[in-house]
Structure 1
Amino acid sequence: MSTILGAIVPIFLVIGIGYLAVLKRVVDKSHIQGMGRYVINIALPALVIQALLARPLDEVFNVPYLLVYGLGSGVAFAAMFAWLSVRSARSLVQRAMFSLGVSASNSGFIGYPVAVLVIGPTAGIAMALNMLIENLLVIPTALVLAELSKGARGGIWKTMKPVALRILRHPLILAIVVGTLLAALDLHPPGPLEKMLDMLAASSSPVALFVIGGTLCGLRVRGMAKAVSQIALTKLILHPLCVIGMILLVPGIDPVFAAAAILFACAPMLSMYPLLGQRYGFAEMGTAAMVMATVLSSLTLAVGIWLSHAWLL
């Protein structure tokens, strides 16, 4: 119990500091947005490159982990989409956004800070692999479905092309490409550049948690309790269960990576969830779901830490 509290309490204290800083106007909301861009565009890419260079390439691209987390996330997406298709009258875009919310975790801002306290440097590698799964599988699937709901013309390629281009230009994807090439060629940056990467990477967790707290300040759930609860609770329950099911089915996964998969799946949905839904009129509901899931994730992350320790024994 003390180990769980030792991992969870500092994280939510930093989130709380971010919340209070914005509430008391020590930091402006606009500053929080700029700090978020710093994390996404600079600090997390540096962390990804650092993680990819830390171990041999064949250890970094852990195929069992990719299968476990990728299949677990895919099953969670498909299960939510199928259930909504059968049991509700929600539109295609709503089904796509609901399914995205339950299958893509906040790997960088919440999953990684928790995982690194529990399993150490492997958390950075797991985060990079999660970014591949989320950015190349889960997010494109949801966006293509949402675009199809708008009656996109010109066939599937015309619908997918702008989505694919946006994803390929994302700093985190570029960092994965750069880190992979450097690792494959066994090239390491000179001392000063390596120190710079270390400094930027070290800033990613605390700044990310501060940003989460600042973002939550002022957000309210109004008139959407049923739908918001459905998204948040399904994310925090279904996604971890699907990943655990894949751990039991897929042979050969290292216990440390199994623990990482559980911890990341127990995190709330990705922080850009409301932004991805903004184009489809889903920003308010997406924000409310993210708020609820972030608050409740203190419970699921505690369970995830307990399960991960059990897996490592």
Structure 2
Amino acid sequence: MEQDNRPIRWGIIGCGNVTELKSGPAFNKVQGSELLAVMRRDRAKLADYAERHGVPKTYANADALIQDPEIDAIYVATPPGSHREYALKIAAADKHCCLEKPMALNFAECEEIAAAFAGRDAQLFVAYYRRSLPRFNQVKAWLDEGKIGDVRHINWSYARTPSAVDLSAEYNWRTDPAVSGGGHFVDLACHGLDLFIYLLGDIRDARGIAVNQQNLYDVEDAVSACWVFDNGATGSGFWNFGCAEYGDEVIIHGSRGSIRFSVFADAALVLESANGSEHVEIPHPENIQFFHIENMVKHLNGTGRHPVAGAEGGKASRVMDQILAGLVG
């Protein structure tokens, strides 16, 4: 849809840590965009955030922000357990909406949210910002150019040590399935699975085994999975949150080469092909959601298309639901 010449005026529901550097400042840095209002229930933290980031309007009530006639678009930066509620209210108010990832607690909620925006001028986006990052678009370019031939398999190995919060008795919403939809797997794996769908196409079917090895919390901390894409390529992965050291590596195997990269680390992209090895360094931007926000603005102005619009944002949740159906114990 097309806008007039004024900036798209954004409001944020939930101005917590994810908005401090990753996203919040970029709403003012992107051309044609303005961060006009923020909402948080804690009034002291709300006032502090608004002062530090130069945001003119503050709300302690989400409904009031949603109904503000000066707000064009709303970024929901709360945990997934509240995404459905806020998204349906934003759709009813005919405002554009960007949901933090994952899109909702499960795929059924994602479908309900997408249906609420279908047929409206109001647009729906999900903050799978890796689809907009130059480093991963370099990987996509190599694939589209046939640098490694036909893709045969993709594997992602992810491991890390337990966090200090995991080892304590402190409450962590990321391991409360009523709020997060699962454990650290849901919080982190969705980024990579969504990226793989972007790079290689839709995942037709997935299977998994999930267990709790450490008993530090009540959800899975170790997951293994395999899947198949619509084009016949296969995939596999493991995610473990109780290992001795950190690791994050993706390998795409092709008929004539391979590509290696990390989903989260700012590591080199490595292309192995008939022409030899190529190492490419593409650092993350200061505000990692900058290009994602820029693409939303272009989409709303009719000058581009965002890669995670509408129902596209629920595809990773569908895959995770399939994988976690194999929860053991």
Q: TM-score range by the shorter chain?
A: under 0.3
Q: Give the alignment's TM-score, normalised by structure 2.
A: 0.27
Question: Relative contact order (C-alpha < 8 Å, sep 6+): which is higher?
Answer: 1
Q: Which has the larger radius of gyration?
A: 2
Q: Give the alignment's TM-score, normalised by structure 1.
A: 0.28
